Amino acid sequence: MSTEDKTPLVSVKDVHKVFDLGGHFLQKETPKVKAINDVSLNIAVGESFCLVGESGCGKSTLARTVMGLLKPSAGEIGYNGTRIDDLAHNERLPFHRNMQMIFQNPYASLNPRRSVQKTLEEPLRFHCPEMSNSAIKEKVEEVMVSVGNDPSWGARYPHEFSGGQRQRISIARALMVDPEFVVADEPISALDVSIQAQVLNVMMDAQEKRNLTYLFITHDLSVVEHFGSRVGVMYLGTLCELATTKTLFAKPRHPYTQVLLAAIPTLSCEEMTSTKSVGEVPSAMNLPTGCVFHNRCPFANERCKREVPRLRTLDDGAAVACHAVEEGRIES
């Protein structure tokens, strides 16, 4: 399972992202949102790397930073060994072709005034201007069929489709230019359970056929167990656990990972036990001192309030940022 020794397809190195909120000109310090704090991770070819966390933990920001939609405040993004975050727009173009994105809400991400055919043709016309009309048509048809869409849908408009169908069209759009790397930002959370399965299957098939690498973002760990080969758990802009899917589900180390796992509803007929309120995520404008999770953590002690835990790699390859795990206060 060790994929770390090869050159990773995508590497994120010590990335920070701070949003400046402007504020008043007389204010001494402008208010800032620290969306990502010192995150490093590598994604190898053929992996489905999942990023998990609650809303506001910075997982979408990280995805956008990787895609180049946002510039990191510090740190580096690498693709296939080349640093890409500081490239000029036209130097980036060949990379854009290899990196595509699927968005969360298929109702918002498809242009309502453009037919499906036009939507799907656009990436090709932009990235491969040398392609002939007939070749483009063929390509559209081929991709539509590969994601389980009827090619005759081309003449129709997005509003004529259901959520699941629209999401499959978005997937088709991302696959048009034969990318190597696809970022999927909560692609199934706006869909019904039964449709979620369809869309996940389409994505898994596409990976198998095209040898895709995914960065898959979700807040639902039950999906991750299916889809991911490796998982990163994020909390308030920090990576708190990084492990292979198997290890994470067999042995969740970080207390936050355990909270996330416990929250998955199961088909049990057992009445839901009243979970004690673990509180809400603090604001990223003033992060807690020490470990960002300490005010919701049942294992927190003085050290957690003071000192920021570093990501430490354990014997089985899982990396955890937690003092309690390190000191053996939590079984690991």
Q: Which residues bind another protein (CB under 8 A)?
A: 54-56, 162-165, 192-198, 200-201, 204-205, 219-223, 225-226, 245, 249, 259-260, 262-275, 277-278, 280-281
Phi-psi sector, 52: left (phi>0), alpha (psi -120 to 50), beta: beta
Q: Report the alpha-carbon distance of residue 171 to residue 190 in Å, rounded.
A: 15
CB of 236 to another protein, least distance (A): 13
CB of 318 to another protein, least distance (A): 17
Nearer to another protein (CB atom), residue 207 or residue 332? 207
CB of 202 to another protein, least distance (A): 9
Nearer to another protein (CB atom), residue 116 or residue 221? 221
Nearer to another protein (CB atom), residue 93 or residue 250? 250
Nearer to another protein (CB atom), residue 176 or residue 202? 202
Return the DSSP state at 275. P
Q: Report the alpha-carbon distance of residue 6 to residue 242 in Å, rounded.
A: 18
Nearer to another protein (CB atom), residue 90 or residue 266? 266
Nearer to another protein (CB atom), residue 98 or residue 207? 207
**Joined tokens for residue 184:** 């999927």
- Residues linked to residue 11 through DSSP beta bridges, in sequence order: 42, 78
Q: Are strands 99-102 and 10-20 parallel, antiparallel or unpaired?
A: unpaired
CB of 222 to another protein, least distance (A): 4
Q: Where are the beta strands (DSSP E) in the chain?
A: 10-20, 32-43, 48-52, 74-79, 82-83, 99-102, 181-185, 213-218, 230-235, 238-244, 312-313, 319-320
CB of 58 to another protein, least distance (A): 14
Q: Report the alpha-carbon distance of residue 163 to residue 167 in Å, rounded.
A: 6
CB of 194 to another protein, least distance (A): 5
Sheet with 10-20: strands ordered across: 32-43, 10-20, 74-79, 82-83
Task: Kindly report the length of the chain.
Answer: 332
